[in-house]
Copies of this chain bind each other. A is one copy, B any other.
Amino acid sequence: MIKIKDIKFSVKKYEYKKPFHITNSVRTEAFNVEVELITSNGIISKAEASPSFRVCGENSDTVMSVADKARGVLAGKDIKRYGNVFNDLKSSVDSPSLKAALEFSILEALCKESGIKVWNFLGGVKKEIETDKTVVISNIKDMVLEAANIKKEGFKILKIKVGENVDKDIEIMAEIYKKTKGMKYIVDANTGYTPKQAVYFAKKLYSRGIDISVYEQPVDRNDIKGLRYVRFKSPYPVAADESVKTIDDAVNLIKKEACDFINIKIMKMGFSNALSIIQLARANDIKLMIGCMSESSLGIKQSVHLACGLGCFDFCDLDSHLLLNEKRNRGEFIQNKNIIKIC
């Protein structure tokens, strides 16, 4: 028996290097909640919750408001029986990002006790993964410059935020394409388009010979029919992101055949539910990508272990730590341009 002795929570503020502008949202700072889990035999595991108010209606204040309850639920519990601990947490604490951090910290503590790494515990499929890097919404000139810089930095996959102005977005994509030919594109409208706008956007780009690897969340999160419409009317694979936060969301999307990809983010699902959704998606031949909220390197580590352990993600969008000012990388992984390798 390895009991959870204590958990410490603290809010950390990070500044974005540039304002993080996506559809209907501009952020200059991120407030994450750090978790330090201490076991009865002295194991310490650090993790991070990066709450998203836009997607999940939570922020660092709401997370901290349930921290005492979470500590109470977990104190004294045996991490060797983590299935029960996760169940207790699920039934008592309603914060997906905190669940992600706590579940990861419990698994990491068990792995530290066992002398293996979390990615090995999960299957050990890939030693390293490739991430994209993101161009946020701005004026055309700045977005094209940023895209060109990301290419110069050595990234092969470009994520482009669109969704606020479809005609401007088409123009931007055309200009970015000129400067970054050879890259793969993930285009993310963050719910910004109507279904018809979304198809219009896709068809215009397609007619210009631009390929898009993943067309993320073109329409409103609750418009599953609209998502399905875009999926079947546009030439690009469509990913559900904001539309899938729970296992039931995933079941419903699969039933309705509304998407080609599911974007797994542990901060909107928790860690163990993410594992369930991954299995569900794979069984149903739904492709997978993994994304992030505003995690620092400490939080990105969690998704890196998941991605390397399972090796099931066609695309990894794990770049939030690259967009934040951080003194040092605390993720225990090596970032070599676009490649993330677990130490």
| A interface residues (Cβ-Cβ under 8 A, vs B) | 78, 80-84, 86-87, 110, 113-116, 120-125, 247, 250-251, 255, 275-277, 279-280, 282-284, 309-311
A116 touches B83 (CB 8 A): no
B81 touches A123 (CB 8 A): yes
A80 touches B120 (CB 8 A): yes
Q: Name the one of B116, B275, B282, B283 contacting A110, with C-beta atoms under 8 angstroms.
A: B116
A124 touches B84 (CB 8 A): yes
- How many angstroms from the CA of A340 to the CA of B85 in the assembled complex? 23
Which residues of the other chain, B, contact A114 by a CB distance below 8 angstroms?
114-116
* Sample (18) of A-B pairs whose CB atoms are under 8 Å apart: A78-B124, A80-B116, A80-B120, A80-B124, A81-B125, A83-B125, A83-B309, A87-B125, A113-B115, A114-B115, A114-B116, A115-B115, A247-B283, A255-B255, A276-B279, A279-B279, A279-B280, A279-B283
A123 touches B82 (CB 8 A): yes
Which residues of the other chain, B, contact A255 by a CB distance below 8 angstroms?
255
A283 touches B251 (CB 8 A): yes
Tallying the copies of this chain within the complex gives 2
Q: Which secondary structure dominates chain A's binding surface?
A: helix
Q: Name the one of B113, B115, B122, B250 contacting A283, with C-beta atoms under 8 angstroms.
A: B250
**Smallest CB-CB separation from A80: which chain B residue?**
B120
Give the Cβ gap from A176 to chain B, nearest Cβ, in Å: 36
Q: Name the one of B82, B277, B284, B311 contacting A83, with C-beta atoms under 8 angstroms.
A: B311
Give the Cβ gap from A113 to chain B, nearest Cβ, in Å: 8
Which residues of the other chain, B, contact A277 by a CB distance below 8 angstroms?
283
Which residues of the other chain, B, contact A82 by a CB distance below 8 angstroms?
123-124
- How many angstroms from the CA of A132 to the CA of B277 in the assembled complex? 32
- How many angstroms from the CA of A310 to the CA of B110 in the assembled complex? 17
Which residues of the other chain, B, contact A86 by a CB distance below 8 angstroms?
123
Given contacts A83-B125, A251-B283, A275-B279, 11 further A-B contacts (CB under 8 A): A80-B120, A81-B123, A81-B125, A82-B123, A82-B124, A114-B115, A115-B115, A251-B284, A255-B255, A276-B282, A277-B283
Give the Cβ gap from A5 to chain B, nearest Cβ, in Å: 18
Give the Cβ gap from A122 to chain B, nearest Cβ, in Å: 7
A81, A110, A282, A310: residue with the most chain B Cβ atoms closer than 10 Å: A81
A310 touches B122 (CB 8 A): no
- How many angstroms from the CA of A81 to the CA of B342 in the assembled complex? 14
User: With A114-B115, A115-B114, A116-B110 known to touch, is A83 a contact of B283 (CB < 8 Å)?
Assistant: no
Give the Cβ gap from A306 to chain B, nearest Cβ, in Å: 12
Q: Name the one of B84, B123, B125 contacting A125, with C-beta atoms under 8 angstroms.
A: B84
Give the Cβ gap from A270 to chain B, nearest Cβ, in Å: 14
